[in-house]
Structure 1
Amino acid sequence: MSSQIESRLEALGIVLPAAVAPAANYVPAVESRGYLYISGQIPMGPNGIEYVGKLGRELGLEEGRAAARLCAINILAQAKAALGDLERIGRVVKLVGFVNSDPEFGDQPKVVNGASDLMVEVLGDKGRHARSAVGVAALPFGVGVEVEAILEIA
């Protein structure tokens, strides 16, 4: 029998990818004192890195939202790899979204909504969270968005 979270993912047409290995000297997730801290996830899709460019220049708002959504999918993949079962997620405590932004771009919160909306779609009320949406000058591999998470473990 599949879990409620897996059923929601299936209904949304989302297949979680294998958790991506870190690109440098860090671990993808750390469990400590009842929380799971997930390192920043980039928009890595089935064909590699997606959504490269700056928001407000090479990427538009909808592409940014899609990139943030893909980051959130990768957060869930890391959570499943670390916890073994997504039902162990007690709630999403906080998301931090970094948006590779042209200096004139000011819609970082709308971009990061792509990740926030997915968490609520998949986890329901457990997906509601505190959040920061930060514009930055550059991100690894030139991606448009990176998102990290703090999850409470049930």
Structure 2
Amino acid sequence: MTPDIQARLTDLGLALPPAPAPAANYVPFVLAGDLLHVSGQVAADANGFIIGKLGDTMDLDGGVAAARACALSLLAQVNAACDGDLSRLRRVVKLNAFVNSTADFTDQPKVVNGASDLFAALLDPAVSPHARSAVGVAALPFGVAVEIDGIFQIG
């Protein structure tokens, strides 16, 4: 990991988790040319899965924290794909985010800002701006609040 990203993580009181292992029959990432496709990372922290449904059992702040946890797991997968050298990360290209939410909850973009804002805080301004989708869904694996996959350009 590059010293700048490590320093920024430390300043925010954060650390990259170990890259999560796949939970089924898939790989955590696939490199195609210079594009790294990272499989969906479910919301989890040191206590386990971050479970909840936005608009019911979880509030907006909890959803933002869950999306932030997904971003850390995505970055951990990028780190693993780059053999621990995050200086190879050239761009966050696209995030696809799924928010476990009730039918009347419409703040999915605010939830997913938890991930986007973390990338902006950790990465150089030329690296972090990205395209994004924020979709409400009726359920996610393990009952987690958020799942995010991503496409990253690496060198």
- The alignment's TM-score, normalised by the length of structure 1, stands at 0.95
| Percentage of identical aligned residues | 56
Deviations 1:39-93 (A, max 9, x none): 010112112112x121000011010000000000011111111112111110100
Residue matched to 1:149 = 150
Q: Match of 1:130?
A: 131
Q: Deviations over 1:12-60 (max 9, x none)?
A: 111111111000000011111101111010112112112x121000011
AA paired with 2:48? Answer: G
Pairing of 1:13-92 with structure 2 (within 5 A): 13-50=13-50, 52-84=51-83, 85-92=85-92
Q: Which letter does structure 1 place at the counterpart of 2:77?
A: Q
Distance in 2 between residues matched to 1:10 and 1:53, nearest whole Å? 28
Q: What is the CA RMSD across the aligned residues, in angstroms?
A: 1.2
Secondary structure of the 1:116 match is helix
* SS of residue matched to 1:135: strand
Segments ≥4 residues shifted beyond 4 Å: none
Work out whether 1:95 is the aligned partner of 2:102: no
TM-score between both structures, scaled by the size of structure 2: 0.95
- Structure 2: state its 5+ residue gaps: none
Tell me the distance in 2 between the aligned counterparts of 1:112 and 1:2. Answer: 25
Q: Secondary structure at the match of 1:98?
A: strand
The 1:144–1:2 alpha-carbon spacing in structure 2 relative to 1, beyond 3 Å, is closer
* Residue 10 (structure 1) shift: 1.6
| Equivalences, count | 153
